[in-house]
Protein backbone atom coordinates (compact mmCIF):
# COMPACT_ATOMS: atom_id res chain seq x y z
CA UNK A 1 0.00 0.00 0.00
CA UNK A 2 2.92 2.34 0.56
CA UNK A 3 3.52 2.23 -3.22
CA UNK A 4 0.07 3.59 -3.96
CA UNK A 5 -0.02 7.11 -5.33
CA UNK A 6 -1.98 9.96 -3.81
CA UNK A 7 -4.97 9.37 -6.08
CA UNK A 8 -5.30 5.88 -4.66
CA UNK A 9 -5.21 7.22 -1.11
CA UNK A 10 -7.80 9.83 -2.07
CA UNK A 11 -10.07 7.04 -3.34
CA UNK A 12 -9.61 5.11 -0.10
CA UNK A 13 -10.52 8.21 1.92
CA UNK A 14 -13.65 8.75 -0.18
CA UNK A 15 -14.69 5.14 0.38
CA UNK A 16 -13.98 5.48 4.11
CA UNK A 17 -16.21 8.54 4.36
CA UNK A 18 -19.01 7.04 2.30
CA UNK A 19 -19.10 3.58 3.88
CA UNK A 20 -17.98 4.19 7.45
CA UNK A 21 -19.06 7.75 8.22
CA UNK A 22 -21.89 9.00 6.00
CA UNK A 23 -23.56 5.58 6.17
CA UNK A 24 -23.74 5.94 9.97
CA UNK A 25 -25.42 9.32 9.91
CA UNK A 26 -22.66 11.95 9.96
CA UNK A 27 -24.09 14.86 7.98
CA UNK A 28 -21.90 17.93 8.60
CA UNK A 29 -20.40 18.61 5.18
CA UNK A 30 -17.37 20.41 6.59
CA UNK A 31 -16.55 17.39 8.76
CA UNK A 32 -16.99 15.02 5.81
CA UNK A 33 -14.74 17.21 3.65
CA UNK A 34 -12.06 17.29 6.36
CA UNK A 35 -12.15 13.51 6.69
CA UNK A 36 -11.78 13.18 2.92
CA UNK A 37 -8.81 15.54 2.94
CA UNK A 38 -6.64 14.53 5.93
CA UNK A 39 -4.24 11.70 4.93
CA UNK A 40 -4.85 9.21 7.74
CA UNK A 41 -2.15 6.89 6.40
CA UNK A 42 0.64 9.31 7.36
CA UNK A 43 -0.50 9.32 11.01
CA UNK A 44 -0.17 5.55 11.61
CA UNK A 45 2.96 3.43 12.15
CA UNK A 46 4.41 1.85 9.00
CA UNK A 47 3.22 -1.59 10.11
CA UNK A 48 -0.41 -0.43 9.95
CA UNK A 49 -0.40 1.67 6.78
CA UNK A 50 -2.34 -0.98 4.88
CA UNK A 51 -5.09 -0.79 7.51
CA UNK A 52 -5.10 3.00 7.82
CA UNK A 53 -8.52 3.46 6.17
CA UNK A 54 -10.16 0.44 7.77
CA UNK A 55 -13.10 0.67 10.18
CA UNK A 56 -11.07 0.20 13.34
CA UNK A 57 -8.77 1.91 15.85
CA UNK A 58 -5.06 1.17 15.38
CA UNK A 59 -2.14 0.95 17.77
CA UNK A 60 0.35 3.83 17.70
CA UNK A 61 2.56 2.37 20.42
CA UNK A 62 2.89 3.22 24.13
CA UNK A 63 -0.49 1.52 24.74
CA UNK A 64 -2.20 4.30 22.77
CA UNK A 65 -4.40 4.19 19.66
CA UNK A 66 -5.59 6.25 16.73
CA UNK A 67 -9.38 6.24 16.98
CA UNK A 68 -11.76 4.55 14.57
CA UNK A 69 -12.59 7.00 11.73
CA UNK A 70 -16.29 7.05 12.62
CA UNK A 71 -15.54 8.03 16.23
CA UNK A 72 -13.25 10.84 15.03
CA UNK A 73 -16.05 12.11 12.78
CA UNK A 74 -18.73 11.69 15.45
CA UNK A 75 -16.79 13.60 18.10
CA UNK A 76 -15.80 16.31 15.63
CA UNK A 77 -19.38 16.81 14.39
CA UNK A 78 -20.65 16.93 17.98
CA UNK A 79 -18.39 19.92 18.71
CA UNK A 80 -20.17 22.02 16.04
CA UNK A 81 -16.88 23.72 15.16
CA UNK A 82 -16.88 27.22 13.74
CA UNK A 83 -14.08 28.80 11.63
CA UNK A 84 -13.10 31.22 14.42
CA UNK A 85 -13.04 28.63 17.23
CA UNK A 86 -10.05 28.09 19.48
CA UNK A 87 -9.88 24.40 20.37
CA UNK A 88 -8.13 22.54 23.18
CA UNK A 89 -7.36 18.89 22.48
CA UNK A 90 -6.32 16.59 25.31
CA UNK A 91 -4.35 13.65 23.90
CA UNK A 92 -2.54 14.50 20.66
CA UNK A 93 -1.69 10.85 20.04
CA UNK A 94 -0.73 10.42 16.40
CA UNK A 95 -1.99 13.90 15.48
CA UNK A 96 -4.79 12.66 13.20
CA UNK A 97 -7.70 14.07 15.20
CA UNK A 98 -5.63 17.24 15.65
CA UNK A 99 -5.35 17.65 11.88
CA UNK A 100 -9.10 17.15 11.38
CA UNK A 101 -9.79 19.84 13.99
CA UNK A 102 -7.29 22.18 12.33
CA UNK A 103 -9.21 21.92 9.04
CA UNK A 104 -12.31 23.30 10.75
CA UNK A 105 -11.17 25.73 13.46
CA UNK A 106 -9.03 28.85 13.72
CA UNK A 107 -6.47 27.29 16.07
CA UNK A 108 -5.83 24.05 17.92
CA UNK A 109 -3.87 23.71 21.15
CA UNK A 110 -3.04 20.06 21.78
CA UNK A 111 -1.53 18.43 24.87
CA UNK A 112 0.20 15.04 24.87
CA UNK A 113 1.56 13.30 27.98
CA UNK A 114 3.97 10.96 26.15
CA UNK A 115 7.01 12.91 24.84
CA UNK A 116 7.74 10.58 21.90
CA UNK A 117 4.15 10.79 20.63
CA UNK A 118 4.11 14.58 20.99
CA UNK A 119 7.35 14.90 19.01
CA UNK A 120 6.24 12.44 16.32
CA UNK A 121 2.86 14.13 15.90
CA UNK A 122 4.47 17.56 15.64
CA UNK A 123 6.77 16.28 12.91
CA UNK A 124 3.92 14.83 10.84
CA UNK A 125 1.71 17.90 11.32
CA UNK A 126 4.54 20.16 10.17
CA UNK A 127 5.10 17.92 7.15
CA UNK A 128 1.39 18.28 6.35
CA UNK A 129 1.90 22.07 6.53
CA UNK A 130 -0.50 22.84 9.37
CA UNK A 131 0.26 26.28 10.76
CA UNK A 132 -2.63 26.67 13.23
CA UNK A 133 -1.64 23.86 15.62
CA UNK A 134 0.42 24.16 18.81
CA UNK A 135 1.47 20.93 20.55
CA UNK A 136 2.96 20.72 24.01
CA UNK A 137 3.96 17.90 26.33
CA UNK A 138 2.06 17.96 29.60
CA UNK A 139 -0.71 16.73 31.88
CA UNK A 140 -4.09 16.87 30.18
CA UNK A 141 -5.88 17.06 33.53
CA UNK A 142 -4.38 20.54 33.99
CA UNK A 143 -5.47 21.75 30.58
CA UNK A 144 -3.74 24.85 29.20
CA UNK A 145 -4.74 27.74 31.49
CA UNK A 146 -2.35 30.20 29.81
CA UNK A 147 -4.30 29.86 26.55
CA UNK A 148 -7.81 29.60 28.06
CA UNK A 149 -10.67 30.11 27.57
CA UNK A 150 -11.41 27.72 24.69
CA UNK A 151 -14.52 27.65 22.53
CA UNK A 152 -14.34 23.88 22.23
CA UNK A 153 -12.51 21.13 24.13
CA UNK A 154 -12.06 17.52 23.01
CA UNK A 155 -10.56 14.76 25.15
CA UNK A 156 -9.37 11.57 23.43
CA UNK A 157 -8.65 9.44 26.50
CA UNK A 158 -11.05 8.46 29.26
CA UNK A 159 -10.85 9.94 32.76
CA UNK A 160 -12.89 8.23 35.49
CA UNK A 161 -14.70 11.54 36.08
CA UNK A 162 -14.99 14.82 34.19
CA UNK A 163 -11.91 16.98 35.05
CA UNK A 164 -13.14 20.16 36.72
CA UNK A 165 -10.09 22.10 35.53
CA UNK A 166 -11.14 21.57 31.91
CA UNK A 167 -14.68 22.83 32.53
CA UNK A 168 -13.18 25.99 34.03
CA UNK A 169 -11.20 26.55 30.81
CA UNK A 170 -14.29 26.30 28.60
CA UNK A 171 -15.68 29.62 27.39
CA UNK A 172 -19.26 30.71 27.93
CA UNK A 173 -21.43 28.88 25.37
CA UNK A 174 -18.50 26.50 24.83
CA UNK A 175 -18.77 22.78 24.14
CA UNK A 176 -16.64 19.91 25.41
CA UNK A 177 -16.77 16.25 24.40
CA UNK A 178 -14.98 13.43 26.19
CA UNK A 179 -15.22 9.73 27.05
CA UNK A 180 -15.82 9.15 30.76
CA UNK A 181 -15.60 5.97 32.80
CA UNK A 182 -13.37 3.08 33.74
CA UNK A 183 -14.93 -0.32 33.01
CA UNK A 184 -17.90 1.18 31.19
CA UNK A 185 -17.39 4.38 29.20
CA UNK A 186 -19.73 6.83 27.51
CA UNK A 187 -19.12 9.89 25.38
CA UNK A 188 -20.34 12.92 27.30
CA UNK A 189 -21.19 16.25 25.67
CA UNK A 190 -20.94 19.28 27.94
CA UNK A 191 -22.36 22.72 27.21
CA UNK A 192 -21.38 25.68 29.37
CA UNK A 193 -24.01 28.39 29.64
CA UNK A 194 -22.80 31.08 32.02
CA UNK A 195 -22.77 29.33 35.41
CA UNK A 196 -24.84 26.39 34.21
CA UNK A 197 -23.28 23.14 32.98
CA UNK A 198 -25.46 20.88 30.84
CA UNK A 199 -24.29 17.28 30.36
CA UNK A 200 -25.60 14.83 27.77
CA UNK A 201 -24.67 11.16 27.46
CA UNK A 202 -24.20 10.22 23.80
CA UNK A 203 -22.92 6.73 22.92
CA UNK A 204 -20.96 3.93 24.61
CA UNK A 205 -17.26 3.90 23.68
CA UNK A 206 -13.93 2.33 24.60
CA UNK A 207 -10.92 4.65 24.93
CA UNK A 208 -7.56 4.23 26.60
CA UNK A 209 -7.46 5.63 30.15
CA UNK A 210 -6.53 9.27 30.68
CA UNK A 211 -3.32 9.27 32.72
CA UNK A 212 -2.13 11.93 35.14
CA UNK A 213 1.47 13.13 35.00
CA UNK A 214 3.48 11.46 37.73
CA UNK A 215 5.09 13.89 40.14
The catalytic residues are 67
Is 176 a member of any domain?
Answer: yes
CATH of the domain at 180: 3.40.50.150
In angstroms, what CA-CA distances link 30 with 101, 140, 193, 200, 207? 11, 27, 25, 23, 25
Q: Domain tally for the chain?
A: 1
Show Cβ contacts of residue 54 under 8 Å, excluding neighbours closer than 6 positions: none
pLDDT tens for each residue of the chain, 215 residues long = 444 577 889 999 999 999 999 999 999 999 999 999 999 999 999 999 999 999 999 999 999 999 999 999 999 999 999 999 999 999 999 999 999 999 999 999 999 999 999 999 999 999 999 999 999 999 999 999 999 999 999 999 999 999 999 999 999 999 999 999 998 999 999 999 887 999 999 999 999 999 887 66
CA distance 106 to 179: 24
Q: Domain range spanning residue 148?
A: 55-205
Is 19 a member of any domain?
Answer: no
185-193/196-205 β-pairing: antiparallel
Is 30 a member of any domain?
Answer: no
Is 60 a member of any domain?
Answer: yes
CA distance 85 to 174: 10
What length is written for the chain? 215
Query: What pLDDT shows up at residue 1?
Result: 40
Is 8 a member of any domain?
Answer: no
Is 26 a member of any domain?
Answer: no
Is 186 a member of any domain?
Answer: yes
Is 83 a member of any domain?
Answer: yes
**Per-residue pLDDT tens digits for 112-137:** 999 999 999 999 999 999 999 999 99
User: Rounded to two decimals, what is the model's pTM?
Assistant: 0.94
Query: What pLDDT shows up at residue 4?
Result: 54
Query: What pLDDT shows up at residue 215?
Result: 60
Amino acid sequence: MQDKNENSYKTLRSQMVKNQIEARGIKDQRVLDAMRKVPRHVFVPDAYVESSYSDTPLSIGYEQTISQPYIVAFMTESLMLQPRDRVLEIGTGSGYQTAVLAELADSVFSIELIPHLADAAEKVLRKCKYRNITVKRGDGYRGWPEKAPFDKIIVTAAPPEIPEMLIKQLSDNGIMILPVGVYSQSLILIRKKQDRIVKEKLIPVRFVPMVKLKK
